[in-house]
A and B are shown apart, each in its own frame.
Chain A
């Protein structure tokens, strides 16, 4: 579409959205349980494929993103599985006690340490079993509970391919597939998205056999899919709506694909929806070309990570004030 042969594949950054309920639960955790303990807290973020042609979806934090009680022995909080509109991804929260320590956080090394977890999960094969770890994220915050101000900043760590991947033939999925394939693919996606077992699995394989029948497979089935002929694409739930660019989750997916299977040419599919059903017109297909990126051969080193949310104006963080719903004085006045 917008690309000439071999232009750099650019990914639209993921954006964040934090529900008011998240800050309410964090406040009560802080006041009732954590006190001045500022050790990192495992949290859960939620995302879903883009569901509107004009609007991207966000990585969303809800009150359920935080555990009701922080238990140090469990590494991940409990989440409800099988909600198609809420693919759970693991994250970590560094909530500081003072604004000075918020600012003093070494954001580069925090990013590296989360990216390293992704890298380890890619190398160990864990990412093939639970692909949501590829979308791991990081949140730093300072909750000023005296005035109900919350400063925060997200990072979505991505392993950089250097030199960057290039893209050819990026086009709407409805043009890439023939009619019979598209019809079968639509049905296959419908089944994948309506089953509790698969609806919240964000990375998968799309296999089109020689008789144009489509099937969606788990990543761990790569070897069998590769050997049965036909077309094989790497699909993911794309929160981005842009017709010209894939969304952020494709970055670590490409890192996984290159690292695990050493593929230099990757057909990818950005899965997007309209009204809760696969929208092949909005979904994209393209081929990413990967040219011997640095750091992928040497097991002792990790590719460079990027991923802090972009600055808004001069600030690197966002601020929300919830005095209106948290300040007891104001609540008393509004209830009087």
Chain B
């Protein structure tokens, strides 16, 4: 972490400690949320998109200004079939356009909806050869050292112990899962893909929601946060997406930095209002997640697919 970032974190932490949480709504004026508005918007997300749930998290890390059972939102085991970098060219070809921009010219890309989702839904349940090909060629290995390859010298090696048949046994009713074996054959139909736990916390300093990503590799082992950046739109990797301590979970996690969230949400709200749509605070997280989708386009979390940015909202 660079020094300026450190200093800012320290400053932010101090401000958060000495100022109270926002209680007055400034949703339309500034695009930010009060604590109670965050809870309202979260409740609505959980009820409309039930793959999301509230969590209470670690007792020691609870924020007193949030209800104990509604500390943050999470959706687990979300597939990420392709690396973001590999789809950006397709977006360009598909006519992706910049809708929201800021004065600095480094604004958010407009949302592109759910990439590829509709297409796959029409296909069979079995992964197609095409997706398999993509997942195979784009596989990025996690760094082996992270998972026990390191510092193991003083531990007796268990590898040579022969497995005895009476422990695992032979059972005709157990489906042999070929992909659990180190060298997978080419003909299995199991899709090996990265998965993500996506969580949303309330950032007291910026008064906006904040998205965190915990990645898992193809064998459901923790992905280094640095490798998570491969699933971030390359415009945002290392700029708007940073790797920091999660407020409720242990370890470092990639996060979409919230410094511009208020401004972007304000722009979206202005666009809605200019079209005669009255923005409603309980729908904040749908709008928010829709614009976050432009940062992490290939992580297929649910934010209600048919939410319409422009017209009277459907959900």
Residues of B within 8 A of A12 (CB): 175, 177
B182 touches A313 (CB 8 A): yes
Contact of B193 among A54, A85, A316 (CB under 8 A): A54
Contacts known (A63-B58, A323-B151); A54 close to B173, Cβ less than 8 A: no
16 residue pairs from A and B, CB less than 8 Å apart = A8-B172, A10-B174, A11-B173, A51-B51, A55-B79, A57-B77, A85-B53, A86-B53, A108-B166, A147-B151, A149-B151, A149-B152, A314-B163, A318-B221, A319-B148, A325-B251
Residues of A within 8 A of B75 (CB): 85
A76 within 8 A of B: no
Residues of B within 8 A of A281 (CB): 125
A169 within 8 A of B: no
Lowest 6 CB-CB distances: which A-B pairs, in order? A276-B50, A319-B148, A313-B182, A325-B251, A10-B175, A164-B173
Within 8 A of A (CB), among B166-194: 166-169, 171-175, 177, 180-182, 191, 193
A315 within 8 A of B: yes
CA distance A19 to B147 in the complex (A): 14
B161 touches A58 (CB 8 A): no
Residues of A within 8 A of B146 (CB): 321, 324
Residues of A within 8 A of B59 (CB): 68
B158 within 8 A of A: yes
B234 within 8 A of A: no
Stretch at the interface among A118-126, A261-269, A303-311: A303-311
Q: Which A residue sits closest to B54, measured CB to CB?
A: A83
Contact of A321 among B51, B120, B147, B216 (CB under 8 A): B147
A320 touches B147 (CB 8 A): yes
A8 touches B127 (CB 8 A): no
B193 touches A306 (CB 8 A): no
Q: Which A residue sits closest to B123, measured CB to CB?
A: A53
B143 to chain A, nearest CB (A): 10
A97 within 8 A of B: no
Residues of A within 8 A of B24 (CB): none
A275 touches B177 (CB 8 A): no
B111 to chain A, nearest CB (A): 18
B154 to chain A, nearest CB (A): 8
Most chain B CB within a 10 A radius of its CB, from A15, A103, A241, A276: A276
B168 touches A325 (CB 8 A): no
Residues of A within 8 A of B305 (CB): 275
Extra contacts, 19 of them, besides A12-B177, A58-B77, A308-B167 (Cβ < 8 A), are A17-B220, A21-B250, A53-B120, A54-B79, A54-B191, A55-B195, A80-B56, A85-B50, A100-B156, A107-B167, A147-B151, A164-B172, A245-B175, A276-B302, A277-B50, A281-B125, A314-B163, A320-B221, A324-B224
Identify whether the interface residues of B are mostly helix, strand, loop, or mixed: loop
A8 touches B173 (CB 8 A): yes
CA distance A252 to B154 in the complex (A): 41
CA distance A99 to B172 in the complex (A): 32
A315 touches B158 (CB 8 A): yes
B12 within 8 A of A: no
What does the 1/0 interface line of B65-81 toward A look like (CB < 8 Å)? Answer: 00001000001110101
Within 8 A of A (CB), among B204-228: 216, 219-222, 224
What does the 1/0 interface line of B234-262 toward A look like (CB < 8 Å)? Answer: 00000000000000011110000000000
Residues of B within 8 A of A63 (CB): 58, 250
Residues of B within 8 A of A296 (CB): none
B156 to chain A, nearest CB (A): 6
A310 touches B180 (CB 8 A): yes
Residues of A within 8 A of B77 (CB): 17, 51-52, 55, 57-58
B158 touches A323 (CB 8 A): no
